[in-house]
Each structure stands twice: as structure tokens, then as C-alpha cells.
Chain A
């Protein structure tokens, strides 16, 4: 990284094309390139701050500044759980952060974290390192409003052995700019992690999560929910790499596609050589409701050992069937309400957190305010 210039970044690939002959780029890279070109020309500012009242949050990442309330933090080097050399914009992020990040230790309890960015057109790099132990819940809200800034938000979470982590990520992205939201988890021995991400994509949301299961006997339940509407576009990549023995990973994605939105959900479940008796299940389901909504699903498995307990993946394009609606109508439920219940049931499968359900409900109200039936 050292010694590289922004101009050199333009010659680095935007994406690894190693996985398939037919893999296309679901990300509109030209939107990202516009910001990089401005950076090369020196015609855009890096960083900025937002003022506001953020009561109720314990940690607020406002533009490029971190504020905490009753919690200590320090500057430190990133953990590199997210590989800095992965592609052009990951490298750009690390260059912009100049090997710095904000590190917070969270040991037991419930924490609310907010990330916001300024409205004006800028490049906002944000890098947060969380070290988690004990029984901890984190609610991480990534909100953009109508910002025209390109946000590059990286969170690396180091889950200590035998920790219990409940992580809820909530993303409302801007319709005016692209964003890169990247979550990296490293999970130690005997830990249990329950992760839910809910996203309402913006103009171009690139939402990545990578979990590296280093320890044995780890349990990870990951649940992704995306509600995509208008002209929004999301490229959601969720990767899981199991290196420890006796671990169990389950990923379930449900996405709703409306209007002219484009939704790509893909990712890799990998059980590495030496990870004995581990299991992975990877499911992707999408419900396109309008004729122009586009959906791409690509769940992948790489099993490098024969000593595997369960390795499954499945992908489905779902429908609201007239029979389902009819059945509910015969029970006295009006058609419109029946359809909403079916969509809600689809999106909230295996969600047990009331806060998550409330947020999905609110987004659903906004999404279904037009007549999509």
C-alpha cells in the first residue's frame, strides 16, 4: 500500500473475476470511478463532520470523527480481517484511512452505534474495530439520508473465544451516491454469533460481510433482509470461511424487489481442509414483485474436506401464490392485507428480535405504499 498513488489505483481491478465464467459485475463501478477520478484530480474533499443530536447511541461515527458516550476508544491499526489488497476500492479505503482505525472494546451489555455522513459531495472513509467479549448485543445503524457523499464504511469485529454476540446491522442508503459497506468478523473458539442485517439499498449499495471462523465449536446464524425499491441497486456478498472443527454456520437471505430495482445476493460458504465435522447451510431467496425488478442469486460452496457434517445451499425465486391469498381471504382477511402478511412472513423468517421486526415493518410500509399487486 505504501507509496501508491490514487492514480495507480485506476489500473487495479475493481473486482476479482476468479469465480465463474459467467459472473458479471453486479456493481455499477462507474459510479465509484467518478469519485476516484475526482480524487485523482483533487476536486473532491476527503472526510467531514455532521452535527446533530444522537441521543440514545453509545458510539457515533459522524463523518470522519468518532464520538462515544461512556465508552473508551483509541486509534489503532486495522485488524486486516478485510483483506486490504482485495480490489481497487478496498485498497482505496485503506489508503484513505492511512492504516488508522478507531478501536473500541465491548465486554457484555447492549450497545447502539450510529454511522452518519455529511450531505455535501465528499469521500467519507470510516473504519471501526470492535473487540467483543462476554454476552454482547450491538445495534449498528448506518444511515445516509440524502447525502451525495461516497461512504466507505468498514467494521472489523474480533469475537473473543466463548463470547456471545448478537449483532444487528441496519442500513438505509442514499439514492444519490454509491457506498461500500464492509463487515469483517473473526470468531474465536466456542463463540456463538447471531447476526442480522437489514438493508434498504440506495443508488448503488455494495454490502459485504465476511466471517472467518477460526475457532472450533462456533455457531453462527446469519440472516440477511433486503428491501429494494425505486431505482436502487444492491450487490450483497456474504462469505463464510470455516477453519475450525465442529462449527455450524447458517446463512439465510430473503430479498424483496420492487420497481426497477436490481438485487444481487451472492457469496461463498467454504469449509477449509482440516475443519472436521463442520457444517454450513447457505440459502438465498428473492421475491420480485414488479415486472422490472431484477434479481441475481449466486450461493456458492467450496468444500475442501471429506470430513464434512452438512454442506447445503439453495436458491429460490419466490412468488405470492393466488392460492395462498385465497386461503387467507376465506378466513376473512382482506386480499391486500393477506398479501402484506405473506410478504412479511417471507421477509421475517427466522427473525426473533422484536427490534428487527419493527424496522422491517416500517420499511415494508414505505415499500408497499404504492399498489404493487
Chain B
């Protein structure tokens, strides 16, 4: 049974006030060709990257704003004024080399301790640039690359060009184009053939100020017979106004490899969060998406896998909590292009206090994908009458041998369950958090242990706060 949350822990995990810090460069203004050129110049990029940004800008200007995003009209992106902030000259490899105020941001989040205890590598992005990037020595010996993505553009241009923007294209929609025009910060990870990284590596993204855009890019390539677990953590302090996050994640799983991509999204309530996440899975490879989405004002993200190679597999397990008048528009897409491919989507959403959870999913089976198998389960729990849950699954099948199933349910916590737990001495809020944790147990089971503990605590706090929900 989950234990009751102590007050001390509550104060630790509350969204904190921002810590001001001195920065090297700041680029403000409207999104124009001049602004893009300026960012490219400051970042000392090669010409191919500058041209890619400018082409993406053309698409951004040309493409319409999606009309299907629920509630997007309530957000005025014109308010965003800062598009690039460089906190320090170059990323460092030791916490001690960071300026005191920046180090205190990470110490407050417990990242130095987490890296020392659990992780094989850690990259932290503060606003627009990577400030810290380190990897345990044994990984370097195995030939693993984990460096800030800007550095990879300079150091391994051929390798980066082979994958960068080839998995998530900039012409796909307006916000993908915006991302590629303004991208900055992020990580490049390459795991060579046959290397199985024993511990997770993590990238942590932090937005430090209001009315700012963060556009980080993560590119992860796992070569044949290799394995990697990558954790993406997101956080931000409490602002008066909002900030905007439009990131991208590109995963490439070569033959017989395995990538587990874990997201623990705990943005503060002022972040508008768009994320473009896609993987390509080659023959017999396995891509696993695990996502715990707790924070943010507005989230739209649909991790997707293109099952390109015969026998490739992918699963997506997403838990999404909207506790307050916030919108979570999440889901997954599985594109079956090859024979004998398998996919599974499990989505669990919890809405309370006027929260809106939306599931959008796509299962696509092409003519060539004989014997494809896919199963989707999306369950929604609504905790009060003011909250909403929508599910929009799409199934497109062009091969009759495909076996596809989708099931969804929407329900509420029954009075009997609550009464039972309360009769055992639990408060209403505690009882609800236990029921919620039980509801998402399938997802928690797949997460690394320390993140289960963290996510469970966050969920407990969400439902304990102010004497419970409903």
C-alpha cells in the first residue's frame, strides 16, 4: 500500500519560484529570417544547418495553425518574446564548474545525486543551451557518444546529417517547422553495434523564465544489437505568465536493437508543451515509449513509431494526469510498414478539477505489412463532473492479414471503492491517490524503479493537495 505523503516531501516537490541567473546571450524579438540567422550565427553553425533553419521558417510561415487542437485558441503564442538564451559559454562536465545560481537550480531538483547514484550519463538543458553534459567513463571506453547536439553537428557532421530531421520532418506541421527553425540545445546519443548500456542515460530540460520558447532536440541512434534506456525529464518553476516548449525527439533503432524512451514530464502549470517524438524501427528491433505526463498548462504530444523492418516491435505506455483546468492532448501512432510487425498502446488518463484529457491514436497497416498485430487500450478516469475525457482512435488497415484491436473505457471512481478504503482509516485524498496508482499500475510496472517512486510521489501529492479532489 502506498504510504501517506509527509508534509516535508510536499514542500520539496511543490513547483518552486524561479532562480534568476546571469546569461551570456539573449535573443528576443519576433520570428523573422533575421532572428533565425542571428541564432545560427551565435551558435557558429555550418551553412547546411543555417539553410535547414531557413527552409523550416518558410514552412512555418506557410503552414496553417492546426484547427483540431482543443483549446489552442486560448493561447496567444505572439506573447512569447525570447527565443534564445545562452546561460554559459560552453557546457561543463563537472557540477563545480557551473555558476553558483545555476548549480543551485539543479541541486534543488536533486540531479547531481541522481546522476551519481543511478545514471550512466546526464545532459541538462537550461533554457536554450546545454549547460552540463557528462557520461560515466566506462561508456566512453565502449564507444558510446553522448554529447550536446550542437557539438555533434560540428564533430560528427556526416553521422548527424544522416538522421537529423529525417525521422521528424520539418514540413509535417506548423510546430514541427517552428521547432526546426529555432531548435537549440539537446543531446545526441550514439550507441555502437553490440553495446548494451546497463544503466539509463538522462536528458533534463528546464525552462528558467517566463514568456520564453525552448526548442531542444534529442537525436538517439542505437546501432545493431545494441540497447539503451533514455530518460527525459522536464521541469520548470512557477511563473506568473507562461512559457512555450516545442521540442523534438528522433530515435533510430537499427536491426535487432532496443530503445526504451522514458519521459517524466512535470512541467509547472505555466508551460505550453508541444513535443514531436518519433522512432524508426528496423528489422527485429524494439522501441518502447513510457511516458508519465503530470504537469503543464497544455500538452500536445503523440510518440510514434514507424515499424519499417520485418519483425520490428513497439509499445507505448502513457499515463496522463490533468488535475486542474489544464489540457492534455496525448496519444500514440504506430505505422506498420513491414511484415510481422507488432505494436501495443496502453494509455491511461485521469482528469479532475476541470481537467481535459484527450487521446488521439493512429494504427496504420500498409499493404506490405502482412501479419501485423496491434492492440490499443485507452482507459480514462474522470474524478468529478467538471472534467472531460475524449478519445479519438483511428485504425487504417490495407492488409487483410492484420489483426488489430482497440478498446477504450471511461469511468469514475466508485463510491464503494472509496468507502472501502476510508473504512480502513484513509483520508479521501489518500484513498483516491491509491485508486489512481492502481489504475496506472501497468505503466508504473515498466518504469525504472527510482522513477516509479518519483512518479508515485508526484501523483500522491497531486491528489492529496488541498484535501483531495472531487
Residues of A whose CB lies within 8 Å of any CB of B are 17-23, 257, 273, 286, 288-291, 293-308, 310-317, 319
A303 touches B394 (CB 8 A): no
Contact of B68 among A21, A295, A296, A314 (CB under 8 A): A21
B408 touches A313 (CB 8 A): yes
Contacts of A296 in B (CB 8 A): 394-397
B388 touches A303 (CB 8 A): yes
Residue of A17, A21, A22 with most partner-chain B CB within 10 A: A21
Contact of A303 among B173, B389, B395 (CB under 8 A): B389
Bound together, the chains give a CA A314 to CA B393 distance in angstroms of 9
Residues of B whose CB lies within 8 Å of any CB of A are 66-68, 173, 302, 333, 351, 360, 362, 380, 382-412
B404 touches A298 (CB 8 A): no
B408 touches A298 (CB 8 A): no
Could you list 18 A-B pairs, sorted by A, with CB under 8 Å?
A17-B68, A21-B66, A22-B360, A22-B362, A257-B400, A288-B400, A290-B400, A297-B395, A298-B392, A299-B393, A300-B391, A300-B393, A302-B390, A311-B380, A311-B389, A312-B408, A313-B393, A314-B405
Bound together, the chains give a CA A257 to CA B399 distance in angstroms of 11
B408 touches A301 (CB 8 A): yes
Q: How far is the CB of A102 from chain B (nearest CB, A)?
A: 37
Q: A303-B388, A312-B409, A317-B402 are in contact. List 12 more A-B contacts (CB 8 A).
A: A22-B394, A291-B399, A291-B400, A296-B396, A301-B408, A308-B382, A311-B410, A312-B410, A313-B408, A317-B403, A317-B404, A317-B405
Contacts of A310 in B (CB 8 A): 409, 411
State the main secondary structure of chain B at its contact with A. Answer: strand
Contacts of B302 in A (CB 8 A): 21
B404 touches A21 (CB 8 A): no
Q: How far is the CB of B353 from chain A (nearest CB, A)?
A: 10
Contacts of A299 in B (CB 8 A): 393, 406
Contacts of A301 in B (CB 8 A): 389-391, 408, 410
B407 — nearest CB in chain A belongs to which residue?
A314
Residue of A303, A308, A314 with most partner-chain B CB within 10 A: A303
Contacts of B408 in A (CB 8 A): 301, 312-314
B383 touches A19 (CB 8 A): no
B300 — nearest CB in chain A belongs to which residue?
A21
B67 — nearest CB in chain A belongs to which residue?
A18
Contact of B67 among A17, A22, A313, A317 (CB under 8 A): A17
B173 touches A21 (CB 8 A): yes
Q: How far is the CB of B280 from chain A (nearest CB, A)?
A: 18
Bound together, the chains give a CA A310 to CA B384 distance in angstroms of 15
Contacts of B380 in A (CB 8 A): 303, 311
Contacts of B383 in A (CB 8 A): 306
Contacts of A22 in B (CB 8 A): 333, 360, 362, 394
Bound together, the chains give a CA A297 to CA B399 distance in angstroms of 14
Bound together, the chains give a CA A315 to CA B410 distance in angstroms of 15
Q: How far is the CB of B99 from chain A (nearest CB, A)?
A: 42
Bound together, the chains give a CA A61 to CA B395 distance in angstroms of 37
Q: How far is the CB of A206 from chain B (nearest CB, A)?
A: 18
